[in-house]
Structure 1
Amino acid sequence: MVLFHSLNNSNLSQWQVLNDVVMGGHSQANFGVNNQGFAEFSGHVSLENNGGFSSVKYPLSPIDITNFNKLVIKIKGDSNRYQLRLKTNKLDAHSYITYFETSGLWQELEFLFADFYPTYRGRRLELPNFPGEQMEELGFMIANKKAQDFKLEIAQIRIL
């Protein structure tokens, strides 16, 4: 099941950028369509004023995912490390995350739902891993504890 596809005129207005400015930081990010027609999450992570992250999230209508076991993303990164983040309920304070490395080339990466673990503000929680029953939000974050420019192109997100 395809959740997002850049080239099918997906509505990018639903995506929301969230930077460390909510905590006093100075990171900046944009999310939009690039010249090739792909969704692009790009900007600069700043460590000033205890900053250090930038993220973008995509709210979904609650999706029953009990018959699916993995999330597949087709992305092109910039050789940086990113988090892929899920929420069972968009009102939850915590997210379920996993990390992935980008190569500078187009990649199709698969992630088992069972491998996403719960975190809150960068700390792992003592809760079970992602239950794999419902998903209401997904997103990407860059938070590598260093100041850096970043660019992540997103072609497609689907579940299998």
Structure 2
Amino acid sequence: MMREEVTIFDFNKTSNRKQWDLVNDEVMGGISMGLLQIDDDGNGVFSGHVSLENNGGFCLIKHDINRISVEKYSSFVIKLKGDGKKYAFRCKSGEHQRHTYSYSFKTTKDWQTI
């Protein structure tokens, strides 16, 4: 049986970084700073500095997508190159849903499929 796949977001040279929202711990008094850029190859590059000062400690990027029916899907696939640190992928079933589904993973400095 062939698995059906759908691409939710694919960074490329014409991607608009403004389609993504940055949220730093400054929303609760922290001083961490995240940044999203599109590099010359069209890859989305998320970088920054996470600080634990002032009870902070996070930077995130988020992308709101149109609601899609997920009954025929069983997983998400993320293709990325990291920096050796731990990250989390989170999703939720509705804009106003308080809880998220979360998956933590460690990155490498090579391209990975998570």
| Aligned: 1:43 with 2:48 | yes
4+ residue runs over 6 A deviation: none
Identical columns (%): 39
- Considering Cα pairs closer than 8 Å and 6+ residues apart, tell me whether 1 or 2 has the greater RCO: 1
Is the CA contact 1:4–1:10 (under 8 Å) kept in the aligned structure 2? no
RMSD of aligned residue pairs (Cα, Å): 1.2
Choose which of 71, 79, 86 in structure 1 pairs with 2:76.
71
- Summarize the Cα distance change of 1:3–1:54 in structure 2 as closer, same or farther, 3 Å threshold: same
- Summarize the Cα distance change of 1:50–1:28 in structure 2 as closer, same or farther, 3 Å threshold: same
Give 1:19's aligned residue: 24
Shift of 1:99: 0.5
Output the TM-score relative to the length of structure 2.
0.89
Question: CA offsets, 1:75-127, max 9 Å, x none?
Answer: 00000000001011121222210101101100011xxxxxxxxxxxxxxxxxx
| Stretches of structure 1 lacking an aligned partner (at least 5 in a row) | 110-160
Shift of 1:8: 6.4
Greater fraction strand: 1
Is the CA contact 1:23–1:51 (under 8 Å) kept in the aligned structure 2? yes
| Stretches of structure 2 lacking an aligned partner (at least 5 in a row) | 1-5
Count of residue pairs brought into register by the alignment: 109
Output the TM-score relative to the length of structure 1.
0.65
Q: Could you tell me which amino acid in structure 1 is paired with residue 24 of structure 2?
A: N
